């Protein structure tokens, strides 16, 4: 059983999308996990070029506010715009 990193649901491995970082990616992440599991419904949202950036920026904004960051709204908005621009470049 794997626990989705977005919603926390526990699912069989077959019902998850699991990402494993390359060595180069691991070198750029502080305390990387061995794997990053997402349940299929959450992965569907995250991989959507419109819904994904909204969800990810909302989660980031939540944690920034909890951490007491003054510019949480602006940072989350800029993060969302960067995600959207990367999604557009891929297509």
Domain residue limits, the chain: 2-46, 51-90
For 45-80, what is each residue's pLDDT tens digit?
Answer: 999 988 999 999 999 999 999 999 999 999 999 999
Structure tokens at 78: 């800029």
C-beta of residue 14 within 8 angstroms of C-beta of residue 1: no
Phi first, then psi, for residue 29 (nearest 5°) are -110, 130
C-beta of residue 78 within 8 angstroms of C-beta of residue 53: no
For 26-47, what is each residue's pLDDT tens digit?
Answer: 999 899 999 999 999 999 999 9
C-alpha–C-alpha distance, residues 83 and 76, integer Å:
11
């Amino acid at each position: 059983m794997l626990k989705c990193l977005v919603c926390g649901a526990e699912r069989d491995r077959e019902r998850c999308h699991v990402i494993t970082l390359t060595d180069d990616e691991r070198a750029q992440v502080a305390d990387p996990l061995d794997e990053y599991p997402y349940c299929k419904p959450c992965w569907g949202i995250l991989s959507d070029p419109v819904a994904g950036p909204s969800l990810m920026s909302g989660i980031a904004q939540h944690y920034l506010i909890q951490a007491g960051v003054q510019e949480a709204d602006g940072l989350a908005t800029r993060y969302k715009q960067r995600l959207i621009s990367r999604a557009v470049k891929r297509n």
